[in-house]
């Protein structure tokens, strides 16, 4: 789709947009299923990048404590707990600019191997990757790689100056070439324009293949970061963004990501109606709080949703 076409969708009257997105969702996916994904921050804080939203950037004083890399055993224990709580995907995040070929990376490879053995979809988000590194992760059993575009190409340098939009695209290319599935989305509420949101969806949906998953995050404004005073995005903007993403990428798993803690059950229900079919569960995202698993299970019960099984789209597993 062109930017003009995506703009037309984005600007539809909200109820029309939700109805259209719900229709696309029902025609393409099992709409009663929602993927439950859990996050583990395997290496927290102290990052050299200047991402204006991020609590883990070393240069901002956000109060996030720097933690050395977790032990493989600790990660496996948390992964097992997440699986028992209904998660089918586990995403391991590191506050790195890029992966380096060192002992830390060897340990990530061990973690991937161990979590893969639990029969969960293993995902990593470690910053920029070379093709070689992506291949090593794939060989260890990695299923997905998360690498967000975060905003439009035009807005990128207003948010991050320590790397470029093209660097991001290059990593996505390396990930795809290594036969990993791609998870890439962004954040709303950074002070971007609607054209920036549309531009980001335009880039994602015009990649050689749609990302298998697209996380949509609402900015969690963090004290100490340049974006600390950003106003919270309204739920209507979140619904509009999710609905447009659903229509533009009909079969992609659209994740209602950061920002759920501030949303009521009814507001989240609208997001599911509009095509969201994945969440992060567990009481912590990477460094910020998230709804409790008990509340989320109750939400699934009330809305008649069921957790999606791992490897749903794999013909043989
Ligand atoms: N360092 C790696 C990278 O930047 O690709 C991986 C971890 S980074 C924390 C992963 C993603 O978390 C970012 O791309 C961004 O979309 C999201 N994120 C970070 N801080 C956030 C915030 N305050 N609010 C919403 N999303 C945030
Ligand atoms: C994504 O799109 N959102 C997640 C995950 N991918 C890595 C991270 C959200 C982080 C929110 C801020 C924090 O908890 O530090
Ligand atoms: Fe570092 Fe990633 Fe945070 Fe940017 S988003 S500061 S690269 S951890």
Report the alpha-carbon distance of residue 76 to residue 244 in Å, rounded: 36
123 catalytic per annotation: yes
Indicate the pLDDT class of residue 312, thresholds 50, 70 and 90.
confident
- Catalytic: which of 163, 168, 176, 183? 183
Residue 274 has pLDDT above 70, yes or no: yes
Mean pLDDT of 115-121: 96
CA of 16 to the centre of ligand 2 (A): 30
124 catalytic per annotation: no
pTM across the whole model:
0.97
Tell me what pLDDT residue 316 has: 60
Ligand 1 closest atom vs CA 221: 23
| Percent of the chain residues topping a pLDDT of 90 | 97
Ligand 1 closest atom vs CA 128: 5
What domains, with CATH codes, occur in the chain? 3-304 (3.20.20.70)
Please state the three-class secondary structure of the chain as a single string: CCHHHHHHHHCCCHHHHHHHHHHHHHHHCCCCEEEEEEEEEEEECCECCCCCCCCCECCCCCCCCCECCCCHHHHHHHHHHHHHCCCCEEEEEECCCECCCCHHHHHHHHHHHHHHCCCCEEEEECCECCHHHHHHHHHHCCCEEECCCECCCCCHHHHCCCCCHHHHHHHHHHHHHCCCEEECCEEECCCCCHHHHHHHHHHHHCCCCCCCEEEEEECCCCCCCCCCCCCCCCHHHHHHHHHHHHHHCCCCEEEECCCHHHCCHHHHHHHHHCCCCEEEECCECCCCECCCHHHHHHHHHHHCCEECCCCCCCCCC
Pocket of ligand 2 (CB under 6 A): 39, 55, 91, 93, 125, 146, 148, 185, 215, 217, 220, 257-258, 285-288
Extract the tokens encoding 173: 């290319």
Mean pLDDT of 70-94: 97
Q: pLDDT tens for residues 155-200?
A: 999 999 999 999 999 999 999 999 999 999 999 999 999 999 999 9
Residue 230 has pLDDT above 80, yes or no: yes
Residue 317 has pLDDT above 70, yes or no: no
- Catalytic: which of 89, 123, 176, 240? 123
271 catalytic per annotation: no
From 35, 224, 285, 290, the mutation candidate for ligand 2 (largest count of ligand atoms within 8 A of CB) is: 285
CA of 38 to the centre of ligand 2 (A): 11
Indicate the pLDDT class of residue 215, thresholds 50, 70 and 90.
very high
| Percent of the chain residues topping a pLDDT of 70 | 99
């Amino acid at each position: 789709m062109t930017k003009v076409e995506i703009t037309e969708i984005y600007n539809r009257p909200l109820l029309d947009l939700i109805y259209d997105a719900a229709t696309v969702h029902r025609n393409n996916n099992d709409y009663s299923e929602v993927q439950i994904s859990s996050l583990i921050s395997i290496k927290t804080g102290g990052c050299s990048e200047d991402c204006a939203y991020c609590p883990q950037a070393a240069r901002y004083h956000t109060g996030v404590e720097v933690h050395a890399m977790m032990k493989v055993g600790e990660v496996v224990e948390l992964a097992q707990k997440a699986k028992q709580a209904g998660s089918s995907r586990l995403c391991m995040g590191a506050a790195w600019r890029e992966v380096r070929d060192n002992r830390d990376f060897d340990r990530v490879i061990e973690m991937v191997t161990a979590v893969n053995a639990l029969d969960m979809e293993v995902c990593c988000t470690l910053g920029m990757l070379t093709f070689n590194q992506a291949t090593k992760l794939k060989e260890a059993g990695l299923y997905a790689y998360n690498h967000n575009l975060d905003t439009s190409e035009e807005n990128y340098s207003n948010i991050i100056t320590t790397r470029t939009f093209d660097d991001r695209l290059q990593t996505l290319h390396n990930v795809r070439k290594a036969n990993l599935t791609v998870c890439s989305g962004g954040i709303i509420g950074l002070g971007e324009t609607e054209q920036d949101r549309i531009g980001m969806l335009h880039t994602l949906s015009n990649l050689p293949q749609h990302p298998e998953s697209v996380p949509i995050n609402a900015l969690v404004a963090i004290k100490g970061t340049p974006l600390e005073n950003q106003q919270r995005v309204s739920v209507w903007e979140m619904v509009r963004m999710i609905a447009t993403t659903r229509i533009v990428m009909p079969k992609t798993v659209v994740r209602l990501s950061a920002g759920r803690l501030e949303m009521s059950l009814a507001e989240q229900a609208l997001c599911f109606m509009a095509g969201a079919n994945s969440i992060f569960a567990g009481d912590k995202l990477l460094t910020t709080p998230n709804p409790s698993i008990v509340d989320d299970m109750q939400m699934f019960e009330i809305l008649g949703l069921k957790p999606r099984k791992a490897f749903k789209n794999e013909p043989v597993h």
